[in-house]
Amino acid sequence: MSNLSDLPSVLIVSLNYRTPQMTLRSVRAALRAMDGLRAELVIVDNDSGDGSYEVMKQALDTETWAQGAPLRLIRSERNGGFGAGNNIGIRAGLSDGSRPDYVYLLNSDAFPAPEAIRALLAHLEAHPEAGFAGSYIHGEDGAAHMTAFRFPSIASEFEGAIRFGPVSRLLRRKVVPMPVPAGTQAVDWLAGASIMMRQSVLDQIGLFDEAFFLYFEETELCLRAARAGHATHYVRGSEVMHIGSVSTGMKRWSRIPGFWLDSRWHYFSKTRGRGYAAAATLAHLAGGLMWRLRRVLQRKPRVDPPHFLRDLAWHDLKALVRPGPARAVPAGTARRAAKVE
């Protein structure tokens, strides 16, 4: 049997925002999946401001399962969003001050099966061409979640907005959400609920871009890795149960949030340029107007939040004429959300 010191080291980061009991439940599942690995877990409380830190600290100090576990709790002094919070955990490194070989991000409402973390580690060890590896995600009901994607493009913006079968078939290689892969394969990017990353790749390309508050940050990080020659792999043998949208309240949106619009514009303008970002928006508006005409004629139900196209057009017009990078998220917005996919 191998000595733990001979194994690659893994730092697991769990980001909490106002869901302390859920986070502790996820951490307990992660500790079981860490058994036999050279791994440590750090919980980052993303400036919850609701007593979450104190609740978790008391649990870690008093509950039997936490005693002697390779586990730490730290707090962020501000909620800069999903990427910024995870960056704090990544920068914390291992408890002895060293850097891990791998970083594993686990959402606070995600629960790895006993072999889930080991499967990602084994895959990356066996596939040096892969910089990132993510899990097969399913819900509490066992249904698979769609977590493997292609990079967004002008064509995908039009296809996603028009919602028309013949267009989707014509542009099938551009559609962002991929069908759930039947097996392990390379993909463009993965949702960040359960993803392992080589520390050496992060050293090369950098951590999450903190200009993103929520959404598109994993997309941009995986694109940076791809452009540097590092693939992202979907690993079917790593299974994680995920609840989803616990902290963001995404399922209850009555209007598209400004931070989503900021992140979308920043993604396109940073990765392709402002002209491409504007063209992507025009493609989305064209497809969206066609969809709305069909919706009226065919009496289809509303799908987008109210005023979505108007909000998108006005936001991106202002962003296009505004010099410099996308604006920072207002402090009030930062208090309202932290990402759980």
Please answer whether residues 158 and 286 qualify as being in contact, where contact means their C-beta atoms are separated by less than 8 angstroms.
yes
Please answer whether residues 123 and 136 qualify as being in contact, where contact means their C-beta atoms are separated by less than 8 angstroms.
no
The answer for 44, left when phi > 0, alpha when psi is -120 to 50, beta otherwise, is beta
pLDDT number for residue 323: 72
Measured on CA atoms in the order 287, 293, 294, 296, is the torsion positive or negative? positive
pLDDT number for residue 217: 98
The phi, psi pair for 158, rounded to 5°, reads -65, -45
Query: What DSSP character marks residue 12?
Result: E
Q: Which amino acid is present at 301?
A: P
Distance CA 104, CA 83 (A): 13
pLDDT number for residue 71: 97
Look at strands 189-190 and 148-149 and give their pairing: antiparallel
Look at strands 189-190 and 9-16 and give their pairing: unpaired
pTM: 0.92
pLDDT number for residue 234: 98
**Average confidence (pLDDT) per 10 residues, the chain, 341 residues:** 82 97 98 97 97 98 97 96 98 96 98 98 98 97 96 98 97 97 98 97 98 97 98 98 66 82 98 98 98 94 94 97 58 37 35
DSSP string, 228-275: TT-EEEEEEEEEEEE---TTT-GGG-SS--HHHHHHHHHHHHHHH-HH
- CB contact burial 217-232 (16+ within 10 A = b; e otherwise): bbbbbbbbbbeeebbb
- Planar angle of CA 18, 138, 89, nearest 5 degrees: 40
Q: Residue written as tokens 């994680």?
A: 240
Alpha helices for 127-241 (secondary structure H): 154-162, 165-170, 199-205, 217-227
The phi, psi pair for 151, rounded to 5°, reads -70, 140
CA 258, distance to chain mean position in Å, is 18
| Burial of 71 from C-beta contacts in 10 A (0-12 / 13-18 / 19+) | buried
Domains of the chain (ranges; CATH) run: 4-251 (3.90.550.10)
CA 128, distance to chain mean position in Å, is 23
